[in-house]
Amino acid sequence: MFEKEISVALAVEGLSEQDVYSALEVPKEAKLGDLCLPCFKFSRALRQAPPAIASKLAPYVQALPFVSRAETVGGYLNVFFDRNTVAAMISPLSKEECVARSSEGEGKTVCIDYSSVNIAKPFHIGHLSTTVIGGALYRIFKHLGYNVVGINHLGDWGTQFGKLIVATRKWSSLEEVAANDEYFLNSLYVRYHKEAAERPEMDDEARAWFKRIEDGDAEATRYFDAFKKVTMEAVEKIYKRLNITFDSYAGESFYNDKMQPCLDILREKGLLKESDGAQVVELDDYDMPPCLLVKADGATLYATRDLAAAYYRKQTYDFYKCLYVVAYQQNLHFKQLFQVLKLMDFAGADDMEHIAFGMVSMEDGSMSTRNGRVIWLKEVLDKAVEKAATIIGEKNPDLQNKEQVAESVGVGAVVFSALWNNRIKDIVFSYDKVLNFDGETAPYVQYTYARCASALRKGGAFDPDKADLGAITTDEGYEVIKSLLSFGESVRQAAKLREPCVVTRHIVDLAGKFNRFYIGHRIVVDDESTRNARLMLTAAVKHTLGTGLALLGIDAPEEM
Ligand code: ARG
């Protein structure tokens, strides 16, 4: 806060604004001020001892209207803001819900490819990260004024559909599949893999069926459509619970007729090489294995579809950035893809980004849908909601719309667990962790939000213009105020780093600070100007926590 103003004021005595800006620090301890400027780095250029520089600069800072005092300690210049001036700045946050809005994204379109589930597989916890990280980035960019296109690049193409047709015909029927859920479909898939291990001829049959899908054969398409419908209905239910939406469901099959122009460009540029009958782009010069685009039998691949998708997105949305929220397992795929696009002189080549994240494993090893070693997300959500319902039943049995609140709290806890750490961190799934509602968790933030809502209900209307700011500028209150005012910067950082956890951590920190304030200060007191100030602070906290939770896709019940 105020870094810019201070840098401008201190661009004197041979220092530039940039010198000062990059040197400013937030002191480790609050008693050392709000900002400090270590003057050691300037000593050589200015040919003066650091303490002398600090003393020389002090009056310039002191003259600023929002500064209460500037102290020199050794080579440091410590700056203390006027707490009332700072406190007055939160007033808008208490009136409007437009916390941290900005227009930095105006006129820029960001495409975000996330979740991108594979059809015919139920949603497991391995899909949680891409879905909620992508969803959070989607909302964060929107909040900053970007035009955002959420894309679910469905995995709706590939030999697994042939396998499922074989399994359905052997052990079930189209009707039975259509009447059942995604778990039934999955059991056929698991059974297929078990039996095909001993009878490899099943794979030939599966390939033949997939070929029929590719050729548009009516019977094969009926199966394919049924699989897709069952999966999509199930996935939509999950998205609804997670507050996830998309603007486009153009998946892999969408690009069936859009790959040829890309292959033509590659051929024209002499980039496509023949290798054992297959067509590849060699990437030796970039220390990567070749990118395989057409198999010897003429089949296209995942990468071929991604090439076509990149062109389609550029043409359709004219994106400023195109983000792919996909596990780091696919690092090589995206490095190859982006390199091939560069070689093709693709217009958006420098604006493609792989937003990688860590893997989820089970405590006793990795997950695999093929052999049924998975944790379904629905189960996790249901368990968390059940736990929330039990706690509400004990602590607040008369709560209205109990079920709705339990859903918000339970699902919130699960979503939060995937947004707490830096993306790249691997996660070992543990029910204990996900079902922990204490400490740094969504329920803790939700609880604080509800606490604010309750105080505001009790306190009634308040007038920020008639507030005694001194009633909120105690050490505890001042910490809350600073956290409120830096929330906007956290949202911008989250977008810039593509790290929703910056927002997650900020709201947990804010909730903690507010709770410390709340313990020491009654909100609804008789004195009107004190009450006005504390209600204003409470409202600003409520709106900021609510905005943060909403950006993460987590509901904020008014009561819990
Ligand atoms: N369906 C893929 C998978 O589950 C992820 C797709 C990511 N998006 C993309 N354009 N490649 O691994």
Output the DSSP codes for 307-344. HHHHHHHHHHH--SEEEEEEEGGGHHHHHHHHHHHHHT
Q: How confident is the model at residue 205 (pLDDT cuts 50, 70, 90)?
A: very high
pLDDT of residue 369 exceeding 70: no
Residue nearest to atom 9 of ligand 1 (CA): 153
- The HSE-up count of residue 522 (CA atoms within 13 Å, CB side) is 7
Report the alpha-carbon distance of residue 177 to residue 164 in Å, rounded. Answer: 10
pLDDT at 164 over 70: yes
Q: Token digits for 284?
A: 């030796």
Report which of 192, 195, 125 is spatially closest to residue 161, judged by C-alpha positions: 192
Rounded to the nearest 10 degrees, how much is the dihedral formed by the CA atoms of 467, 473, 479, 484? 20
- Residue 129: phi and psi, rounded to 5, are -60, -55
The CATH number assigned to the domain with range 3-81 reads 3.30.1360.70
Nearest-CA residue for atom 5 of ligand 1 = 116
61 Cβ contact partners less than 8 Å away, ≥ 6 residues apart = 6, 9, 10, 67, 70, 77, 79
CA of 329 to the centre of ligand 1 (A): 11
d(CA 113, CA 129): 13
pLDDT at 226: 95
Which CATH architecture best describes the domain 377-417+432-552? Orthogonal Bundle (1.10)
Q: What's the gap in Å between 275 CA and the centre of ligand 1?
A: 26
Measured from the Cα of 306, ligand 1's closest atom is 10
- State both tokens at 281: 């782009």
Q: Where residue 96 falls among pLDDT bands split at 50, 70, 90?
A: low
pTM of the model: 0.93
Residue of 123, 130, 152, 153 with the most ligand 1 atoms within 8 Å of its CB, for mutation: 153
Residues with CB under 6 A from ligand 1: 113, 116, 118, 153, 155, 306, 309, 324, 326
Q: Which of 152, 330, 332 to mutate to test the pocket of ligand 1 (most atoms within 8 A of CB)?
A: 330
Q: Which two tokens stand for residue 60?
A: 């310039």
Give me the mean pLDDT over the 277-302 stretch: 95
Domain ranges of the chain: 3-81, 159-241, 260-299, 377-417+432-552
Amino acid at site 215: D
Q: Which residues contact 103 (CB under 8 A, 6 or more apart)?
A: 144, 145
Lowest-confidence pick of 3-12, 134-143, 489-498: 3-12
pLDDT value at position 372?
A: 66
* Distance separating alpha carbons of residues 467 and 527, to the nearest angstrom: 10
